[in-house]
Amino acid sequence: MIRYAVKHRTEFLYSSPVAISHHLLHLTPRATDRQRIDGWRVVLTPAPAIRRSGTDFFGNAVEHLTIQDEHQTLVVQAGGTVVVEPGHGPAPSDTVPWEDAVIIGGGSRDADVLAAQPFAFDADMTRAGDAVRAWARQSFAPGRPLLDAALELNHRVYEAFEYDPAATTITTPVDEVFDIRRGVCQDFAHLMLACLRGMGLAARYISGYLLTYPPPGGEKLQGSDASHAWVAVRVPEVGWIDLDPTNDKIATTEHITLAWGRDYADVSPVKGAIVGGGKHEVKVDVDVRPLDNQAAATAVT
């Protein structure tokens, strides 16, 4: 069990005043079988005049906000303590043949299958052409155990694609990422989802945080951690297994889940609409620090 103090700060800087703004936040980590949240807070400056909390279609915590004070800077701070426990997944070779996990066109009325169906269809940001689907099929020989095949696909994405923050934007299509063989964690997650869903499998987009480490001999810098994205594939008789194609691994206790959906658009940490503002700049700082089991975290100051 690992206990973390997490801080996330997003600052929007506008070239001209914003008269009014409306925002949707996915900034509260999700409670799961392996994750518990203590004392989480989200603070905005300027403070919103209207603020409502709830859950979205996928069960994620969300906040709907309206800021009515004129402003040229908006600061969103979120933080608290998150406890993550290690998973105990099956041996990949012991999972069912991948064909047994296909849920498109099966007509099943099983509650687990019905709940997973929204994650088996393409979303706007995971649509891909025949070349991506053909590339995916190379990992799915007839009768191959599902997790064994998914882990090979995970490794192939890691090997074939280069991490390059300058290569793509938030709206780069999967087919373009596939062609240029470059991108960031969001791109690799969308590509992996396109591959899995192209085989008729259910897979989620996961938004969260990843603990990073300083270079050898260096110190960890405040705000140097990162927002991250990975996927989860539904494995019958087991549940959902989180896979990180950016780092070629099954997600560990170093992965902190914020929210899940069909693609990035479903779980964007901060999005909204503004009146005014002109051009804008966004600065994001994330800090994830392990605590000993007796430590307390002051997350938002």
What CATH number is given to the structural domain containing 281?
2.60.40.2250
Domain that holds residue 58: 2-85+267-291
Of 184, 208, 188, which is closest to residue 196 (Cα–Cα)? 188
DSSP count for the chain of H helices, then E strands: 6, 14
DSSP secondary-structure letter at 97? B
Q: Judge if 220 and 244 occupy the same domain.
A: yes
Q: Judge if 154 and 277 occupy the same domain.
A: no
**Does the model's pTM come out above 0.85?**
yes
pLDDT in tens, 36-89: 999 899 999 999 999 999 999 999 999 999 999 999 999 999 999 999 999 888
pLDDT in tens, 147-157: 999 999 999 99
Question: Which amino acid, 275?
Answer: V
**Would residue 241 count as lying in a domain?**
yes
How many Cβ atoms are within 10 Å of 202's Cβ, its own excluded? 25
**At residue 233, does pLDDT exceed 80?**
yes
Q: Judge if 226 and 148 occupy the same domain.
A: yes
pLDDT at 107: 66
Alpha carbon separation from 256 to 29, 248, 289 (Å, rounded): 8, 17, 12
pLDDT at 101: 95
Of 270, 265, 269, which is closest to residue 127 (Cα–Cα)? 265
Q: Sorting pLDDT into bands at 50, 70 and 90, what band is 224?
A: low
**Element housing 176 (H / E):** helix 174-180
- CATH number of the domain encompassing residue 140: 3.10.620.30
